[in-house]
């Protein structure tokens, strides 16, 4: 069964969803409008500045039919996914460790061996699949990004350069390929055609196979006011209820749930398969979401007002510091940081520069607000009084890296869940 979302023509390069991306329901209820936003990863070259940057509305809605939270706008993929060499091989130590532990556990728990197959959707440079190879388990990566796929193949990870969906799964199945395990981390939210994605899992998965899917948890987003994780590349924000409804439509169900509270601001790992054996973890998450109201609009309704309050408080704090003569920088020129400064209207008049560890970004400007991007060493060279921590999801790592800056009296401002100086 396939539910194709209905979309209306928006501005050039966008379409606006009028029905739910998962269940097709037509009663989408908007609870947050972030305004006209530039694409968050479209960094600018100061030597070649466009007269105007394209901007697109960004509205978030809840579907009462299946509880899925989603943005309404769909920017054309060729505009949305810009040169991704900028974001290549920037995995943190923590993420690598997390992936390795998961891979080894799957090998042991599922009894994987040389006659098994593990498929990963959005396999990047093969950083996760390499762990299975190390244990002698055959793998297949799927990733349309050429640079990443090349790096994966150089490391011995066979990689198909394609987008994953029902069509690809059907072609693989026709060639006799079935997966004992499918891993899909941080990709489901980037997928506008959710039903094709879930159908693809169902087609490709062996009869007793299991898929593990990781994405940030909508509950953490709402409870901790992580509004800067909402941008055009993330179409959907998932609860367990929404994932279970999506999977059931395609003959799968949610069997197990794990929560990683500090990973990207709060990540869930959903285990899905054809088995009717729903473990206690999945039952209790589904039950808690019903009991605590994540399945009704009321849970989300006040979010817009809470976001407004944070933005106002943050800008007032920065203005106050500026008026006291403070010099302010920021840390983290990623999509999340761009969303925060653009939606709050924080530009070079408040923040002198932003630092980022990715050398490919140095010398460029953030989209929209055009704050210049420099190397992290600039914090010690310039010793600004305050640093707005846009990369709050790496809070502990950044504070540790910047021990010297802090020892010299530098302070960090953490923007969410409520602006705080540390
Ligand atoms: Zn729905």
Residue 248 CA, ligand 1 centroid: distance in Å: 13
Residue 314 CA, ligand 1 centroid: distance in Å: 34
**Res 5: pLDDT:** 45
What's the average pLDDT block by block, 10 residues per block, for the chain (422 residues)? 46 77 97 94 92 93 98 83 53 86 98 98 94 98 90 95 96 98 96 96 98 98 96 96 98 97 92 95 98 98 96 97 97 95 96 94 96 98 98 92 97 96 96
Residue 164 CA, ligand 1 centroid: distance in Å: 22
**Res 88: pLDDT:** 53
**Res 86: pLDDT:** 53
Residue 303 CA, ligand 1 centroid: distance in Å: 19
Question: H/E/C letters for each residue in the chain?
Answer: CCCCCCEEECCCCEEEECCCCCCCCCCCEEEEEEEEEECCCCCECHHHCCCCCCEEEEEEEECCCCCCEEECEEECHHHHCCCHHHHCCCCCHHHHHHHHHHHHHHHHHHCCCCCCCEEEECCCCCCCHHHHHHCCCCEEEECCCHHHHHHHHHCCCCEECCCCCHHHHHHHHHCCCCEEEEEEECCHHHCCCHHHHHHHHHHHEEEEEEEEEEEEEHHHHHHCCCHHHCCCCCCEEECHHHHHHHHHCCCCEEEEEEEECCHHHCEEEEEEECCCCCCHHHHHHHHHHHHCCCCCCHHHHCHHHHHHHHHHHHHHHHHHHHHCCCCEEEECCCHHHHHHHHHHCCCCCCCCCEECCCHHHCCCECCCCCCEEECCCHHHHHCCCEEEECCHHHHHHHHHHCHHHHHCCCEEEECCCCCEEC
pTM for the whole structure = 0.92
Residue 246 CA, ligand 1 centroid: distance in Å: 9
Residue 302 CA, ligand 1 centroid: distance in Å: 20
Residue 406 CA, ligand 1 centroid: distance in Å: 47
């Amino acid at each position: 069964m396939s539910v194709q979302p209905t979309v209306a023509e928006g501005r050039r390069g966008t379409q606006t969803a009028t029905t739910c991306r998962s269940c097709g329901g037509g009663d989408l209820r908007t609870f947050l409008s972030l305004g006209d936003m530039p694409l968050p990863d479209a960094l600018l070259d100061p030597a070649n500045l466009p007269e105007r940057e394209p901007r697109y509305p960004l509205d978030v809605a809840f579907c009462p039919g299946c509880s899925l939270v989603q943005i309404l706008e769909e920017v054309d993929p060729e505009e949305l996914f810009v040169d991704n060499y900028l974001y290549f091989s920037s995995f943190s130590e923590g993420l690598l460790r997390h992936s390795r532990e998961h891979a080894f556990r799957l090998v042991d728990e599922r009894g994987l061996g040389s006659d098994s197959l593990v498929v990963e959707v959005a396999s990047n440079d093969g950083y996760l699949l390499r762990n299975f190879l190390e244990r002698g388990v055959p793998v297949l990566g799927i990733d349309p990004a050429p640079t990443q796929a090349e790096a994966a193949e150089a490391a011995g990870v066979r990689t198909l350069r394609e987008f994953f969906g029902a069509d690809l799964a059907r072609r693989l199945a026709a060639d006799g390929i079935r997966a004992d395990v499918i891993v899909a981390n941080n990709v489901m939210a980037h997928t506008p055609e959710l039903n094709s994605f879930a159908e693809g899992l169902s087609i490709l998965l062996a009869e007793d196979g299991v898929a593990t899917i990781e994405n940030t948890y909508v509950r953490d987003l709402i409870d901790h006011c992580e509004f800067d994780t909402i941008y055009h590349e993330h179409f959907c924000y998932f609860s367990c209820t929404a994932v279970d409804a999506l999977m059931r439509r395609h003959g799968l169900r949610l069997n197990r749930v794990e929560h990683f509270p500090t990973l990207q601001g709060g990540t869930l790992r959903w285990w899905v398969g054809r088995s009717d054996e729903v473990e206690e973890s999945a039952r209790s998450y589904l039950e808690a979401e019903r009991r605590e109201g994540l399945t009704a609009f009321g849970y989300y309704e006040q979010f817009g007002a809470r976001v407004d309050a944070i933005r106002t408080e943050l800008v007032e704090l920065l203005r106050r510091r500026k008026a006291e003569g403070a010099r302010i920088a920021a840390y983290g020129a990623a999509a999340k940081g761009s969303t925060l400064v653009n939606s709050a209207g924080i530009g070079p008049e408040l923040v002198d520069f932003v630092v980022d560890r990715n050398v490919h970004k140095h010398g460029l400007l953030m989209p929209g607000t055009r704050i210049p991007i420099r190397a992290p060493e600039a914090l010690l060279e310039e010793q600004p009084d305050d640093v707005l921590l846009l990369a709050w999801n790496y809070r502990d790592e950044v504070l540790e890296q910047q021990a010297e800056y802090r020892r010299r009296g530098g302070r960090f401002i953490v923007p969410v869940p409520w602006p705080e100086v540390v």
